[in-house]
């Protein structure tokens, strides 16, 4: 009989410990940010132009140029510059920049999907950006991943004094200036 009491007591103690462990584990998930809602990555916001932005016609928002594989070259449109080094591509290639909406800092670089042998440098100016409520140190270049439907950050340098961001691209897709 004493053995039965001892077993029941052990079961009760174990149940109490398990209940306490579950309570603490539940709290630590929330505190540690591992619940599903907290673990969801937040999408950065596209940097927008100030309300007094420049008005441009659609024809002024696209440029293309054949770049020599051997010599490289430069392509510029409004506030975006691509520096293509010699050898970045195997053959002379048509490069393009398109700005689909002048109100945001979002650019489509082509030929879409092109992968480089050596990185292509991109410089984007945000001199006309609406910086209200934005910490300039969080401004960065991100590329749009069509598979995930999300922007992916890339390594870049922010020059707050000159209001430019520079990064190295290993492929072409859509790129934007984003912030938290």
In this prediction, what percent of the chain has a pLDDT beyond 90? 64
pLDDT at 62 (0 to 100): 95
Give per-residue pLDDT as tens, 109-130.
999 899 999 999 999 999 999 9
pLDDT at 21 (0 to 100): 33
Average pLDDT over residues 13-36: 33
Q: Which of 42-56, 57-71, 156-170 shows the lowest per-residue confidence on average (mean pLDDT)? A: 42-56
Domain extents in the chain? 2-39, 45-179
pLDDT at 33 (0 to 100): 32
pLDDT band at 54 (very low <50, low <70, confident <90, very high): low
Please say whether the beta carbons of 116 and 169 come within 8 A.
Answer: yes
pLDDT at 43 (0 to 100): 77
pLDDT at 180 (0 to 100): 86
Give Dmax over CA atoms of the chain in angstroms. Answer: 93
Give per-residue pLDDT as tens, 60-76.
899 999 999 999 999 99
Please tell me which residue, 51 or 9, carries the higher pLDDT value.
Answer: 51
Average pLDDT over residues 149-176: 95
What string of H, E and C letters represents the secondary structure of 22-60?
HHHHHHHHHHHCCCHHHHCCCCCEECEECCCCCCCCHHH
Average pLDDT over residues 99-116: 93
Count Cβ atoms within 10 A of the Cβ of residue 14 and give its class: 0-12 exposed, 13-18 middle, 19 or more buried: exposed
Q: Which of 32-36, 146-150, 175-179 shows the lowest per-residue confidence on average (mean pLDDT)? A: 32-36
pLDDT at 79 (0 to 100): 93
pLDDT band at 41 (very low <50, low <70, confident <90, very high): low
Please say whether the beta carbons of 156 and 162 come within 8 A.
Answer: no
Protein fold of 45-179: Chondroitinase Ac; Chain A, domain 3 (2.60.220)
């Amino acid at each position: 009989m004493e053995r039965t009491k001892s077993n029941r007591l052990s079961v009760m103690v174990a149940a109490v410990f398990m209940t306490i462990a579950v309570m603490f584990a539940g709290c630590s998930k929330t505190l540690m940010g591992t619940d599903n809602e907290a673990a969801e990555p937040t999408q950065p916001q596209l940097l927008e132009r100030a309300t007094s932005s420049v008005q441009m016609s659609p024809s002024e928002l696209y440029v293309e140029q054949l770049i020599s594989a051997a010599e490289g070259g430069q392509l510029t449109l409004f506030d975006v510059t691509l520096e293509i080094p010699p050898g970045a591509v195997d053959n002379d290639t048509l490069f393009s920049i398109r700005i689909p909406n002048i109100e945001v800092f979002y650019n489509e670089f082509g030929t879409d999907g092109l992968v480089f042998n050596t990185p292509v440098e991109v410089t984007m100016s945000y001199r006309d950006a609406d910086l209200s409520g934005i910490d300039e140190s969080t401004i960065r270049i991100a590329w749009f991943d069509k598979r995930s439907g999300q922007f992916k950050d890339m390594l870049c340098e922010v020059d707050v004094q000159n209001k430019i961001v520079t990064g190295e691209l290993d492929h072409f897709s859509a790129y934007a200036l984003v912030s938290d």
